[in-house]
Amino acid sequence: MKPYPDNRRIDEPLLLAYLLLVAIGLVMVYSTSSILADSRFGSQLHFIRNQAVWAVLSLFAMFVIVRLDLRRIAVLSVPALFVALGLLALVFLMPARNEAHRWIMFGPLTMQPSEIFKFIMIGYLAFSLSNPERDLTDLRQLVMPYAPLIGSGLVLIMLEPNLGMVILVSVTALGMFFLAGMRIKHLLTATLPLAGAASLVVFVLGYKRARILDHVDAVMNPLMGSYQVKQSALTLGAGGILGTGLGEGRQKLFFLPYPHTDFIFSATGEEIGFAGLIVLLTLLFLVLFRGSR
């Protein structure tokens, strides 16, 4: 695959796909949340107002980052990774929420260190794996220093516990190793213990076991799953090929829980239909493809 020229700073297809997804997201958050927001907070704009603030902040962050020389600040990713590990350990000194230690509280403000660790890990791996002196075909260079550093973070996140974040961080790290040239046999060797640890936590220790078994059952027959899964399937089915139209979805009328967050894909599918979801998934795939390239 032909590499990009060194002086190319912005990938136009990636930028266009990102901007379209942000715009679609804002429209669908408002469409799926307005009734719930009016019922709970007395204003249809409650959720979309917050979402718009974060959208503007993301545009500003992109504007700043694209002008940074990441090679000069990449060396800071190493000490930053140790800071993130310290924050992951600090959460266990904080009060538990819903029987989990995932947040650091500063008065009314909260911070989730696992999210910080995830992004710093991406920067650290990008900096380290791009080193021309690192031989990714050598198993010893893969084990050190990545196994103790990333492994420590995964263990701390698992102890919170937060299995979903462990899976996300693991898949992200393994994807970056693959793109950097890691051998398939080494990739499989790294995947097996992670899968084994996750199975032990779920099926032996019982963490999220009921939820995961419910998802497995729902794959076989969505209408036999939990209330949320059943309503999600009914919502998608109600959309048909072309959808009911923007703002015309009925499942968001307190049938489908969290229609603007956890189940926004289903709520969106009801209003824009199968054809609209194909467009949406194409944009997401374009972001993944251009980013990987």
Bridge partner residues of 145 (DSSP): none
| CA-wise closest residue to 287 among 22, 50, 51, 27 | 22
Cis omega (within 30 of 0) for bond into 161: yes
Of residues 103 and 265, more confidently modeled: 265
pLDDT band at 7 (very low <50, low <70, confident <90, very high): very low
Q: Tell me phi and psi for residue 12, to 5 degrees.
A: -60, -45
- The string of pLDDT tens digits covering residues 89-141 is 998 888 777 677 788 887 777 788 999 999 999 989 988 888 888 777 777 77
> Nearest to residue 275, comparing CAs of 227, 231, 249, 243?
243
CB distance 127 to 143 below 8 Å:
no
- Summarised one tens digit per residue, pLDDT across range 63-90 is 888 888 877 888 888 899 999 999 999 9
> How far apart, in Å, are the Cα atoms of 176 and each of 81, 124, 211?
17, 11, 29
Q: What is the DSSP letter of 96?
A: P
With contact defined as beta carbons under 8 Å apart, do 267 and 251 qualify? yes
β-strands 104-106, 109-111: how paired? antiparallel
Residue 97 dihedral angles phi and psi, to the nearest 5°: -125, 120
The whole-number pLDDT of residue 4 equals 42
A 10 A CB-CB count for 185 gives 9
- For residue 94, give the 3-state DSSP assignment: coil
Is the peptide bond between 257 and the residue preceding it cis, with omega within 30 degrees of 0?
Answer: no
Q: Which residues contact 20 (CB under 8 A, 6 or more apart)?
A: 283
The pLDDT of residue 206: 62
Tell me what the pLDDT averaged over the chain comes to: 85
| Weakest-pLDDT range from 11-25, 138-152, 273-287 | 138-152
Grade residue 5 by pLDDT with cuts at 50, 70 and 90: very low
Listed by start position, the domains of the chain span 9-68+225-293, 70-207
**pLDDT tens column, 21-71:** 999 999 999 999 998 888 888 889 999 998 999 999 999 998 888 888 877
Contact 68, 115 (CB under 8 A): no
Q: At what angle do helices 264-292 and 12-41 cross, to 10 degrees?
A: 160
